[in-house]
């Protein structure tokens, strides 16, 4: 029986030839870093599609303004659905009665 060391399993060490490479996340497809003139700009905000980013602040909900004043529509109670069904005419009834009239008889 072999004893396991406490601390659980560990990831194997990276191979020496793979250490020091840049990941694809930060470089180009081939793993090489981008030259300075091709790097993405960070910091200042730029215009996207010719629109000023400050416009978004004007179209946001202002403090105290409710985005959904009516709320979600309420469900109809089952009793209303029963009433509607009772008022429907019974198909193929020679006396042209409703479902409610049939229940009463």
50 inside domain: no
Find where tokens 């009239």 sit: 101
4 inside domain: no
Torsion angle of C-alpha atoms 3, 7, 9, 13, degrees rounded to 10: -110
103 inside domain: yes
- The CA–CA distances, whole Å, from 97 to 76, 80, 84, 85, 100 equal 26, 20, 14, 13, 8
90 inside domain: yes
pTM across the whole model: 0.29
Average pLDDT of the chain, as a whole number: 74
27 inside domain: no
82 inside domain: yes
| Whole-number Å distance between alpha carbons of 85 and 88 | 5
Indicate the number of domains in the chain: 1
Q: What is the pLDDT of residues 11-58, one digit of tens each?
A: 666 665 655 554 555 556 677 777 777 766 666 666 667 677 777 777
Q: In this structure, are residues 105 and 93 in contact, taking their beta carbons and an 8 Å threshold?
A: no
Residue 91: predicted pLDDT: 92
17 inside domain: no
Residue 3: predicted pLDDT: 63
Range of the domain at 86: 76-105
């Amino acid at each position: 029986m072999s004893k396991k060391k406490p601390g659980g399993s560990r990831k194997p060490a990276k191979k020496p030839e793979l250490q020091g490479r840049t990941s694809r996340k930060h470089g180009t497809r081939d793993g090489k870093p981008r030259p300075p003139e091709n790097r993405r700009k960070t910091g200042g905000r730029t215009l996207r599609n010719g629109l000023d980013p400050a416009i978004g602040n004007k179209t946001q909900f202002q403090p105290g303004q409710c985005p959904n004043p009516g709320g979600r529509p309420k469900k109809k109670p089952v009793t209303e659905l029963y009433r509607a069904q009772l008022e429907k005419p019974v198909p193929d009834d020679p006396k042209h009665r409703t479902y409610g009239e049939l229940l009463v008889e």
